[in-house]
Amino acid sequence: MGIEFPEIISFGTLLKFALALEENTAALQSQAADLESCASHQSALAAMAKKHARRKSDLERLARERLNEVTLQPLSGMARDEYLPATGLPEGDGDATVAMLAELEEGSARFYGDSAERALNLLGGLDRTFKRFVKEDLKRAQKLKQP
């Protein structure tokens, strides 16, 4: 797919990772929505892809408007490899694809939960944004797990 996920060493790279995560998730959900094997989830996947694309735009705006002063702030305890998502859809049936996309949402929730803890004392309001992302991701994961 060509999306690069940076090492997470500062809040600037954390935001770049978040942007890559949103772009990757939106692309995979959009691809899955077009698969015949995922037809029963088509409208939900298309809506989820749009929400992740919108989230990416919101994060880009947030970075431009409010985060210049802390993007170089060092960050520890978040290894890129712990959060790397799948970057392609599995071969085979739609059930495997939908299950993988649910895991992608859960992994995203874990990333944003850990990010919210690090942002709590540094960035006014960003921790609340990340906590909202956690709830949204977990809700979407549950929706994908329902038959």
**Domain spans, the chain:** 11-73+83-145
- The overall average pLDDT reported for the chain is 89
Sign of CA dihedral 43, 47, 50, 56: negative
Kindly state the tokens that stand for 103: 């895991």
Domain 11-73+83-145 has CATH 3.30.1450: no
Write down the pLDDT at residue 124: 61
Tens of pLDDT, residues 125-137: 778 889 999 999 9
Tens of pLDDT, residues 32-82: 999 999 999 999 999 999 999 999 999 898 778 766 666 667 788 899 999
Write down the pLDDT at residue 65: 74
